[in-house]
Amino acid sequence: MQHPDTFLYDVIIAGAGPVGLFLACELRRAGCSVLVLEKAQDPHSPLKSLPFGLRGLSVPSIESLDRRDLLDDLTHRAAGGDTPAAAHWMQRQRRPGGHFAGIQFFHDRIDSSHWRYRLPGPIGSLAADMASIEAVFAIRAAELGVAIRRSCGVESFTQSDDGVTVETTGATARGRWLVGCDGGRSLVRKAAGIGFAGTDPEFTGYSAEVELADPAALTPGRHYTASGMYTYAAPGTIAMVDFDGGAAHRTEPNRERIEAVLRKISGIDVKVTRLALATTWTDRACQASSYRKGRVLLAGDAAHIHSPLGGQGLNLGLGDAMNLGWKLAATIRGDAPAGLLDSYADERQPVGARILDWSRAQVALMRPSRSSRALEAIIRDLIDTRDGATYFAERVWGVLLRYDLGDSHPLVGRSVPDFALDDGTRPAALLRTGQGLLLNFEARPSLDILARRWRGRINHVARDAGDRLGLTALLVRPDGIVSWVGEGTPDIEDASRAARRWFGEPE
Ligand X SMILES: Cc1cc2nc3c(=O)[nH]c(=O)nc-3n(C[C@H](O)[C@H](O)[C@H](O)COP(=O)(O)OP(=O)(O)OC[C@H]3O[C@@H](n4cnc5c(N)ncnc54)[C@H](O)[C@@H]3O)c2cc1C
Give the interface with ligand X as residue ranges (CB under 6 A).
Answer: 14-20, 37-40, 52, 55-56, 153-154, 181-183, 187, 207, 281, 300-301, 308, 311-315, 317
C-alpha–C-alpha distance, residues 96 and 102, integer Å: 11
- Closest to ligand X by CB, 127 or 405: 127
> Least distance to ligand X from the beta carbon of 54, Å?
7
Residues 6+ apart with CB under 8 A from 251: 257
Select 38 or 209, whichever has its Cβ closest to ligand X: 38
Closer of 19 and 476 to ligand X (Cβ): 19
Find the shortest distance in angstroms from Cβ 115 to ligand X.
21
Minimum distance of ligand X from residue 143's CB (angstroms): 20
In angstroms, give the least distance from the CB of 452 to ligand X. Answer: 39
Nearest residue (beta carbon) to ligand X: 17
C-alpha–C-alpha distance, residues 22 and 16, integer Å: 9
* 324 CB burial (10 A radius; 0-12, 13-18, 19+): buried
- Residue (280 or 483) nearer to ligand X, CB: 280
CB neighbour list of residue 217: distance below 8 Å, 6 or more residues apart? 268, 269, 270
Give the shortest CB-492-to-ligand X separation in angstroms.
40
Which amino acid, 415? S
Helix axes 71-80, 130-144, angle to 10 degrees: 140
DSSP per-residue letters across 401-435: ------SS-TTTTSBPP---BTTS--HHHHTTTSS
Smaller CB separation from ligand X, 12 or 499:
12
CB 491, min distance to ligand X, A = 39
Minimum distance from residue 110 beta carbon to ligand X (Å): 20
| CB of 320 vs ligand X, minimal distance in Å | 8
| CB of 218 vs ligand X, minimal distance in Å | 20
| Residue 425 CB, nearest approach to ligand X (Å) | 29
Number of H-type helices and E-type strands within the chain: 13, 24
> Closer CB to ligand X, residue 18 or residue 102?
18
Provide the terminal-to-terminal Cα distance of the chain, rounded to the nearest Å: 34
Type and span of the H or E element at 297? strand 296-298
Q: What share of the chain is helix, strand, coil (3-state, %, to 5)?
A: 35, 25, 40
Nearer to ligand X, 78 or 336 (CB): 78
Nearer to ligand X, 215 or 311 (CB): 311
Contact 110, 59 (CB under 8 A): no
Q: How far is the CB of 346 from ligand X (least distance, A)?
A: 20
Cβ 150 to ligand X, closest distance in Å?
9
Q: What is the DSSP string of 104-152?
A: EEEGGG--GGG-TT----S-S-EEEEHHHHHHHHHHHHHHHT-EEESS-
Looking at residue 21, its amino acid is L
Query: Which amino acid is located at 419 in the chain?
Result: F
Reduced to 3 states (helix: H, G, I; strand: E, B; else coil), residue 477 is: coil
- Which is nearer to ligand X, 164 or 498 (by Cβ)? 164
The phi and psi torsions of 304 (rounded to 5 degrees) equal -165, 140
For 497-501, the CB contacts below 8 A with 24+ separation are 499/436, 499/450, 499/453, 499/454, 499/458, 499/475, 500/337, 501/337
Cα(205)–Cα(241) distance, rounded to whole angstroms?
A: 4
- Closer to ligand X by CB, 56 or 417: give it: 56
Q: In the complex with ligand X, which residue's Cβ is closer, 166 or 499? A: 166
Asked whether the bond before 51 is cis by omega within 30 degrees of 0, the reply is yes
Contact 262, 270 (CB under 8 A): yes
3-class state of residue 481 by DSSP: strand
Toward ligand X, which CB reaches closer, 205 or 486?
A: 205
HEC readout, 314-328: HHHHHHHHHHHHHHH
